[in-house]
């Protein structure tokens, strides 16, 4: 990049995702999807987490959680409930909501698949944060 020392290298992906070389290992909670898909999912999850925090207390904001489920279904991401929980937990969702959120995710995605089709695509399951 302009202004960087000559020994600094970066990888620039579509949608202006920049990652310095050498790559760091993905976090344990990173879902098994590509880096661009993970960035988009992160934006949706952050919106859910921000909406859930009111007056220093956390509560489930169902319209925003529905958007998380819709996003995963629409993009046909092969993420299971426990992998989603890893992402939610890493973003600060309290453990006391785990059972309720995971149950709702499984039922919500199943309902969308049954009503509209679009099952998750297994080939989208890749090494976490890969660029392919």
Which DSSP category does 114 fall into?
H
**Number of domains the chain contains:** 1
31-45: pLDDT as tens digits:
989 888 998 999 999
Torsion angles phi and psi, residue 12, rounded to 5? -110, 125
100-122: pLDDT as tens digits:
999 999 999 999 999 998 888 88
Question: Does residue 19 lie in a domain region?
Answer: no
Question: Does residue 7 lie in a domain region?
Answer: no
Domain span including residue 72: 35-124
What pLDDT sits at residue 101? 97
Question: Does residue 54 lie in a domain region?
Answer: yes
Write out residues in the chain with pLDDT < 70, as ranges.
1-23, 131-132
Of all residues in the chain, the percent with pLDDT exceeding 70 is 81
Residues 40-65 as b or e (16 or more Cβ within 10 Å = b)? bbeebbeebbebbeeeeeeeebeebb
Torsion angles phi and psi, residue 53, rounded to 5? -95, 110
Contact criterion met (CB below 8 Å) for 61 and 51: yes
């Amino acid at each position: 990049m302009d202004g960087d020392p000559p020994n600094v290298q970066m990888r620039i992906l579509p949608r202006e995702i920049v990652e310095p070389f050498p790559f760091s290992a993905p976090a344990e909670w990173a879902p098994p999807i590509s880096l661009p898909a993970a960035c988009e999912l992160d934006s949706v999850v952050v919106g859910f987490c921000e909406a859930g925090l009111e007056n220093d207390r956390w509560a489930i904001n169902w319209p925003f959680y529905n958007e998380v489920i819709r996003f995963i279904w629409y993009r046909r991401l092969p993420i299971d409930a426990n992998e989603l929980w890893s992402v939610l937990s890493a973003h600060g969702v309290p453990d006391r909501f785990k059972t309720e959120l995971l149950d709702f995710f499984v039922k919500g995605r199943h309902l969308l698949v049954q009503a509209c089709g679009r099952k998750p695509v297994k080939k989208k399951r890749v090494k976490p944060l890969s660029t392919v």
